[in-house]
Structure 1
């Protein structure tokens, strides 16, 4: 369903935008404040999907430029990314970002972690094997 026309509410406090198909919309009023609206060119809202994680490394010795959900991570302390193919794990992608909190005056540290790596080991209790999954910290 494509819209062809936008109508802008004339009320300065309301400023609602109404979209329509452009056929027989004479007399349309603002659904929010019931004020008058005027037609204008249709300008669809552009949605820009930022990637979850983007890491740029100029050379092997440079500090990586890290963007997470479209925002640059500043004050980086640790950046880790690991991905495996042909694995039986549900979420094989591991992300760990540790950085200084830019809003903290005390120098607090924040972390973003996705799918901490897990290691399966076998322990024995009373001679019977027990599978245990360890989580690296």
Structure 2
């Protein structure tokens, strides 16, 4: 459709533009504010093309890509914007996956385990991350992040030919959601170091050496 005339509202706060194919747009008023309009020949706005669109168009010509050589720079720009929207929608989908209710996630994991579908996607028991040596550790236990942490202890020592050293884990965190705020604890096994002494084995027999 080719427009012949355009009428623009003269109100500075409105500035609505009406396009028409008739010879004249006499006797019309602004459909938004009902104010007077100024009619003049149609003046299409030049397409605003980004530097990226011009760059891609130049590359198309340099590589002599016949199947898209006829695309104008503004058409290339539109295609690039659609590509950006696609990548943004994928990113939003990842955000939605991260917002899944933890209870729903745990239930789906249990079902997958019973059906033998968990495979390599089984949730690890524990993850501890440190941004730097002085930062607060991020602790993820059974797929859920532990917040309001008070104490995090983890101990691992290689087994010997006559001694099995179980992995030690102790996490204490505050529970402020209950009626009576309390401290919650997650613990596996006993620490390798006990109190003010270290358990050392000599000839298969445990001895206690007081730390200095």
What is the TM-score normalised by the length of structure 1?
A: 0.49
Bigger strand share: 1
Higher relative contact order (CA 8 A, sep 6+): 1
Larger radius of gyration: 2
Bigger helix share: 2
